Homo-oligomer: A and B are copies of this chain.
Amino acid sequence: MSSVKRSSAQRLRDALEDDIINGRLTPGERLDPEALGREFSVSRTPVREAIQQLVASGLVTVSPKKGTFVARIGIDQLIEMFEVMAELEGMCGRLAARRISEEELAALREALARCEAAAEAGDTDEYYYENETFHDCIYTASHNGFLAQEARQLKQRLKPYRRLQLQVRQRMGGSLAEHRKIVAAIEQGEAELAEQTLREHVLIQGERFSDFIASVKKLDASATRLDAPHDRTRA
């Protein structure tokens, strides 16, 4: 009963958001309001509304008289966003180390255990999912709902690009070790250590920037061919 009767615009927004985050719509791809309206059997008004909300979220961009596209984030801004993401995660860890409850600590240990199981099984998809749960536990344990919300939002916004890092398997071992260190720090209430470890944990993924940037550029190239009539002025 929480939100069963949401408006068409909200449902459409969620659907599009999910499509973008899960890669069914790739950055740079065009969005046709009329086609979406037909697909969901609604008029242009709620479609437009949904799109505007996504624009506000930074997931899509609309160029007047040119069209609406799934947002393409430049490499420079992507780096900036990862930098902020690392800070937010670190802050969550620092606060969690001071404020975590017994229940939350149990949930965190459980999440860690699931990560270990997934890593042992070599199941990268499962690890990816459990890794999210693990981090989300820390967000919640920060006991700062606003911070948690911001962290989740930024994470979602980065998700379409995180997908590009294919070497999850190679990272699983190291990631898991870091997770253990993070849990240990939080258990012992060592706020600064938890913050530092988490911050690096997030930034390490950006360490292989050579591979990462290459992936992004590749995406840029293919996407450019799709949406833009010609070279798009980089936004």
Which of A's residues lie within 8 Å of B, judged by CB? 49, 52-53, 56-57, 77, 80-81, 83-84, 87-88, 91, 95, 144-147, 150
Main secondary structure of the interface of A (DSSP, over half): helix
* A83–B147 touching, CB < 8 Å: yes
Closest to A147 in B: B84
- Give the shortest distance, in Å, between A63 (CB) and chain B (any CB): 13
Complex Cα spacing A95 to B56, Å:
27
Report copies per complex.
2
Do A81 and B146 form a contact, CB below 8 Å, given A56-B56, A57-B56, A87-B91? yes
CB distance from A77 to the nearest CB of B (A): 6
For A144, what are the chain B residues with a Cβ–Cβ distance below 8 Å?
80, 83-84
How many Å from the CB of A165 to the closest CB on chain B?
Answer: 20
